[in-house]
Structure formats: structure tokens, C-alpha cells
Structure 1
């Protein structure tokens, strides 16, 4: 397919269901909120940790429970991880909250979407060592925990809903074009697309992997060799002649409708980036997920 002068492969994105604990981190300023949200999201890719942290976007102070600027975070993991391991991983991640100066945390699960609830207060609240107290802030039943910069408010319970992920593979003239496109895609999604979150990677995209291994069969993930430029003469790759680098751009979303908007925003960003050559999406024959989001349909989304 030709889209605004760029080749888009007529294929589908193989997506999987993910548990999502969507939270709102507020702070004394927007700058503090985004820095602490990045810290809370942490080194987060399911390859090596039990939970992923993705940044969704900014929320103005007029729309937050405590009237301060905030950042939405989607803590998530593929559903095969299991509900109980995910719950434990969320609690372990949120246990660092009282270390974050001026920050408070609120549940941000979309109304009616919670399939389970995580009792955060029973875990994080013990930081208060008996000095914590019950409060209601902006309609949220919460705990107030004294910390060095003032009182930190933590919602008593955080909802868990089922969302989905999505990913693109972008072929570009060089690595610099890959990075520039990924950074632009992050900026557009965080600014313009609600309910979609980008991974907390320094450049927004990653060097992707495949599920399992062919030589090292005991490994959970290994290189995705059809997308590695230096292997062109060794294996059959999917890389166009004009491309010398590839970057993977993943995301999570509250719904399939939302992930379509996110994929469209990312495609537009890479299309507008000089050096982009072609865009496709990875498929693992169902090994990753059973949900198919066709790029042809994504291009028709009115974002």
C-alpha cells in the first residue's frame, strides 16, 4: 500500500491482551510529574522484569483529583503472566511511592472497566508506620502518608482492566532516521492520543525480538533476524533495499479502538520523518497474541 508516499505493507499487527493498572501520578509541577512518572515506570520490558511501565500523557491540574498537574501511567503485562503475579508486581513497583518527593497517586481506571482491584493502601500504607490517615480527595478514598516534602496521598485501591498492545516495524535509511521517527511518534501520542501509552524507552522505540529461539530454543526471546540489516547475506530478511536500519515501536492501549489511533499516530509520525522507507508490523503466527489489527484498517482511522 502507498500512504502519503511511503510504502505500508498490507498486513496485520499481532496483538495480545494485557493487564493494565492505569494510574495518575500528580506532583508539584508538570516537570516533576513526568520525571517521577518515568522513574516509577522504570526499566520496564517483559523480557526481563515482571511488569511494564508505559507513559500515556499529561493531565492538566484542572482535571486531577488534587488540582495539581499529573501524568497517566499504564503499568501492564501480557495476560499469560497471570493475574496474581501481575498484582504482586504492581504492589512491588508502587512500594517506592513514598520515595518520590511531592507526588501522589490516584486510580485512573476508565469507568466500568475494572475487572479486579488491587489493595494498594494495605501495602504502601504501612510506610506511614501508624501516622497514616484516611482522607477523601476529589472523590477518591485514599490514605495520606506523611513524607518529607509534605503528605503523600495514595488511592486505597487501583483497578485492573484488560487492554491490548500494538507494535510497528519501521525500515529507514539509517539509524538516525529510526530514532528521529520514534521520538516524533512518542511526542504525538503523549500529546494527542488519550488511552494509548508509549514504553519508557530513551528513544521511544527498541531493537525488537522474536518469541523463542531457533538455535537457543530454551530462550524466551531472541533476535528477530529477518529485521537485522547485517544478516542480509545470511538469512532471508524483510528489509527493503533502500533501508539500512530498523526500529520497533510498541505501545499499549485501553482498547483495540484506542490502539488503532495510536498506530495511526505513529505511522503519521514516521511518514513525516525524512529517511523513513517502509512500515510493517510483526507477526509470530499466533505465538504472541490472537488479536489481529490490520494496517489497512488503521490507515482509515480518523485520528
Structure 2
């Protein structure tokens, strides 16, 4: 591995609350659609829910004996009532409406800090006709719908983990962006407790902005298309045409570090590594996040 390409810098990370859940379905196509739909559109940075797929589970390892997907939903503020509401949008619009789906709490017991009830925001989609039954050794809410029926565990447990671990792989070609990035994502999905909520991310951001009502805007110093226009301040290295980012959330700091390490290695050990110029990371000078992960320490 080309360690000399790794910059002596750190990824700045934040603590956040997460719910780890298991979704099951009758068929693979529905399962994948549910998993990807319900975890799309990362929104923690604007006070909403951020999600990702941790991995897929064999039917012999699920409570109902069906194929499953482990998903995570993250929130980075302490307002659990808002978390409950925001999460309910994902469940109601992306899971409940898909045929023959069920949802179980899957947060590991040692990490559980509390739970969020699902009756108020999800169960009552049954308009008062919903009922609770003990099934699969769990307390399940049965929501009657036109393709009978959606079932969800009555409490979804949450823990606290690490959000925003990240690295940039500065490269020459489109192939590196897509192919090496794909390998990085696959390496993350092989680690229990880790997700990549943005997949291969094209838009590194910064805290200062000319348009505060938008939230984070482009990190212009690292935009290759602006290099000539802002030559005096641009931080895009020579021969770099693309700076994709991989963002990682982990159920604890060790999970985040392992996922970061393995995904960097996946890029640097890939068949496309000759076109990787530098590995770096996004941070805010250590002023905002509670955790700093130095890339060279990995």
C-alpha cells in the first residue's frame, strides 16, 4: 500500500444517536428497494435523519426466517421527539408501503441507551385498527394495510456512535472515482456497525457560507473546476481532476476507525491506485467535532 500518499491530517467526527434496525421482505428486489429507499437522502446536517445499509442477512439469521437488510438511521441532536418524527417519515413512506415488509429493532444490547416507541408515529397509520401481538419473541405492532399487513416492533432501541469519519481520495480519472470508490464502499459493508451514508460523495462542504439559509455549501478550495479561477488559494494538487469523499458512521469509535482504515486500503490497493495522487480528509481545524481520527495513526 502506498502510505506515502496519505496526508498527515485528521478526519473530524461527531457523536450521534443511531437506531440499528432489521428489515425483512418476501423477495430480494423488494428488500433492496426498501433498504435503499429508507436510507437515502442523508440529512443529519440539516437536522433530519441520515441513514445507510450495513449489510444483508441470510434468512436463517432473521427472526421471521426471511431475507433481511440491516440498516442504520442517525440523528445528531439530542431531541429524541424530533428523531422519532423524522424517522417515522422514512418508515411510513419507504418501508410500510412496500409489500410484505417487517421491521425489527437490531441495536446490540451492550450499546442500547434507550428506545423510541413506534405506535404514535407509525402504528397509528392503522387509523385505530392496529393491534399489538407477541410474535417472533418480540412485541409487534400489526398495521392493517391493503396488502396485509405491515409489522413493526413496538420499540426501536438506540445507541450513541460516531458520525462523519471521512477521507478524500484525490485522483486523475473518472474510473478511479467510481471503481475504487465502489471497492471502498464494499469494504465498509463488510464491517459490523459501519455504514457509508453518502456512498461515493461528490460534494465536500465547509462551515462558512455566503448563503446561510442553504446550510453547508461547496468547499471551493477543493473544487478542480475552480482551480484556475482561484489559483492563489486553491488547494487542488497538480494532476488532480476529482476529489471524491467517503463518509463513515460507526456504532463506536473503533468501528469507525476500522472502516476508515479498510476503505482507504481498498482504494490504495486497487487496480486504479496508480491514478490516486493523495489521500486526505475533511475537518474543521478540530473546532467542531468531538473526535479527531488521524489518518496516519490508522
Return the TM-score normalized by structure 1: 0.88
User: Within 1, Cα distance between the matches of 2:22 and 2:152?
Assistant: 10
What corresponds to 2:133 in structure 1?
135
Contact 2:53 2:72 in 1 (8 A): yes
Moved over 6 A (4+): none
Q: Deviations over 1:237-290 (max 9, x none)?
A: 333213111011112110111011111221122111512221111110234412
Deviations 1:163-184 (A, max 9, x none): 1121111101123321222222
Q: Does 1:255 align with 2:252?
A: yes
Question: Who is 1:209 aligned against?
Answer: 205
SS of the residue aligned with 1:42?
A: coil
Q: Which one of 215, 220, 229 corresponds to residue 224 of structure 2?
A: 229
Q: Which moved more, 1:216-225 or 1:164-173?
A: 216-225
What are the residue-to-residue correspondences of 1:78-227 with 2, within 5 Å? 78-79=76-77, 82-96=79-93, 97-165=95-163, 166-190=165-189, 192-199=190-197, 201=199, 204-213=200-209, 215-216=210-211, 220-227=215-222
Structure 1 residues 217 and 151 mapped into 2: Cα distance closer, same or farther (>3 Å)? closer
- Relative to structure 1, the CA distance from residue 209 to residue 273 in structure 2 (aligned partners, 3 Å threshold; closer, same or farther) is farther
TM-score normalised to the size of structure 2? 0.89
1:53 deviates by 1.6
Instruction: Name 1:70's counterpart in structure 2.
Output: 68
Q: How does 1:34-53 map to 2 (within 5 A)?
A: 34-48=32-46, 50-53=48-51
Aligned residues between the structures:
291
Q: Structure 2: which 5+ residue stretches go unaligned?
A: none
Tell whether 2:240 aligns with 1:243.
yes
Cα distance in 1 for residues equivalent to 2:246 and 2:225: 20
Contact 1:65 1:137 in 2 (8 A): no
**Match in the other structure for 1:32:** 30
Offset at 1:114? 2.1
Where does the alignment leave 5 or more consecutive residues of structure 1 unmatched? 299-303
Deviation at 1:104, TM superposition (A): 0.5
Q: Is the CA contact (8 Å cut-off) linking 2:96 and 2:150 kept in structure 1? A: yes
